[in-house]
Amino acid sequence: MAVACRHFLSSRNGSIATTFGVALPILLLIVGMSIDYARFSSQSLSLAAAADAAALAAAKEMSLTDTSTNDLGGVAKSVIERHMSAQDTSKAQPPLTVVADIASAQLEVTVRANQPFVPYFGMVAQFLPSQVQARSVARVVGKPNLCVLALEPAELGAVFLAKSARMTGDGCSVFSNSSSPYGLIVRDNAQLKAKSVCSAGGVEGAGAIDPQATSDCPHFADPLSNRPAPSYSGCNFNGTHIANQSATLRPGVYCGGLKIDGASTVTFEAGEYIIQDGAFWVSGTSKIEGDGVSFYLGDKTFMYFGPDTALSLSAMRTGAMAGLLFFGSRNQSRIFTHTILSKNAQKLVGTIYLPRNSFVVDGEAAVGGESAYTAIVARRLVLLAGPHLVLNSNYDQTDVPVPDGIRGATEPARLVQ
């Protein structure tokens, strides 16, 4: 063996060196192509996955807002850039070209993405495309309805359920606009069930939410932001206090608040009630009822309904307050809290709109179960200590109108190509 090796090394005929010299460029080309082809395939797969995510995000954005085509392109590009950067953080990404097109009567978004491919081995550039391309199509499908929208943009727990609280959205969707990592919280044996659940930020307690909540959703514009507050001047009633009696109240401006306590029974005649400069307070074992009634809570007014009270209310059918059961002033201090503790508030038909404040359902409250529909748009929604809030969307079972933006407010999306 040693003799053979010495003979090989001392050979002068050059055949092996010549063969190796001819084969080396071919071997280098094969190795280079293998490495760059693997890189090209990996980049193609990453860009395809990013395009899918971008198409879904753009379709969801389109379904939630009046986003223009140009804005959708920005949404899609942002999603793709984040996705590609997350795949490889070791270096800067090549520039991306992203185009989003809307088709099929605003129900379909096509995202096309292109990114340069730069081979490691220049000699194989002629064998591989210079661009990685991806195309994805997402379509808006279905029309679920809005049962809860928490408008708070940043704080944690914009939707907050704790201590065995339950919320059921029957055929409608729950949204938290908070971008906090804990924008939607369900903890301590609480449960949340709805048609869909979506948080602009993160979610705590995903296991207690049915179906699984979606995070990083687009912000949902306030669907009632254009509803004007009722106009009024002067006072029709001052410091109204009903204690341990039966009474019928008329629409008008109630200055100094409205207090009902003891074992009172109060019927509200149909119409618009403006309550200002004092609480709308119902306590004791009082019962209140009204059909075709809407309550506007002024700048310095909060509402409180005690645990042993009974409520049976339906919103106005016509007028500026049509479909709105409670409307909190947009000038209220954020420290105000509107609270229902009532164990018998099963009939609240209409929309509860509290854009500046928290709406709290606490204790053993039972709310909304016998209502054809109830929707809540508030800065925050908080459920504590065992209540059950039921939000139905049986719009055809009542003549109380559904405000624009509540019915069919959002549409989910799915990939179709």
pLDDT tens-digit readout, 32-53: 667 767 777 887 788 788 878 8
- Report the pLDDT averaged over residues 256-282: 97
- Give the pLDDT of residue 365: 92
In the chain, DSSP finds a helix count (H) and a strand count (E) of 3, 29
**More confidently predicted of 85 and 316:** 316
Round the CA-based radius of gyration of the chain to a whole number and report it: 31
Cβ atoms 148, 170 nearer than 8 A: no
- Cα 198 to its chain centre, rounded Å, is 4
Cβ atoms 162, 363 nearer than 8 A: no
Of the pLDDT bands very low, low, confident and very high (cuts 50, 70, 90), residue 58 is confident
- Report the pLDDT averaged over residues 237-265: 97
- Give the pLDDT of residue 183: 95
Return the structure tokens found at 115: 């990114």
Of the pLDDT bands very low, low, confident and very high (cuts 50, 70, 90), residue 9 is very low
Query: Rounded to whole angstroms, how far apart are CA atoms 334 and 387?
Result: 23
CA angle 145, 148, 152 (to 5 degrees): 130
pLDDT at 8 > cutoff 70: no
Query: Rounded to whole angstroms, how far apart are CA atoms 22 and 119?
Result: 24
Element (H, E) at 173: strand 172-176
- Give the pLDDT of residue 50: 80
Per-residue DSSP letter, 214: B
Of the pLDDT bands very low, low, confident and very high (cuts 50, 70, 90), residue 7 is low
Query: Rounded to whole angstroms, how far apart are CA atoms 323 and 400?
Result: 6
State how beta strands 108-116 and 97-103 pair: antiparallel
- Give the pLDDT of residue 189: 95
Amino acid letter, 129: P
Return the structure tokens found at 275: 């309550």
Cβ atoms 111, 90 nearer than 8 A: no
pLDDT at 315 > cutoff 70: yes
pLDDT at 270 > cutoff 90: yes
- Is the C-alpha dihedral spanning 345, 401, 275, 300 positive or negative? positive
State how beta strands 374-384 and 344-362 pair: parallel
Query: Rounded to whole angstroms, how far apart are CA atoms 337 and 408?
Result: 28
pLDDT at 324 > cutoff 80: yes
- Give the pLDDT of residue 110: 83
- Give the pLDDT of residue 337: 95
pLDDT at 12 > cutoff 90: no
Of the pLDDT bands very low, low, confident and very high (cuts 50, 70, 90), residue 180 is very high
For the stretch 365-410, pLDDT in tens is 999 999 999 999 999 999 999 999 999 999 999 999 999 888 875 5
Other CB atoms within 10 A of residue 355 CB:
18
Return the structure tokens found at 47: 């860009």
What is the model's pTM?
Answer: 0.71
Place of tokens 């029974």: 265
- Give the pLDDT of residue 310: 97
- Give the pLDDT of residue 25: 65
- Report the pLDDT averaged over residues 260-281: 97
Q: Mean pLDDT score of the chain, rounded to an integer?
A: 85
**What number of CA atoms fall less than 13 Å from residue 151's CA on the CB side?**
18
Share of the chain above pLDDT 90, in %: 55
CA angle 261, 267, 270 (to 5 degrees): 135
Query: Rounded to whole angstroms, how far apart are CA atoms 311 and 293?
Result: 12
**More confidently predicted of 145 and 169:** 169
- Report the pLDDT averaged over residues 140-147: 72
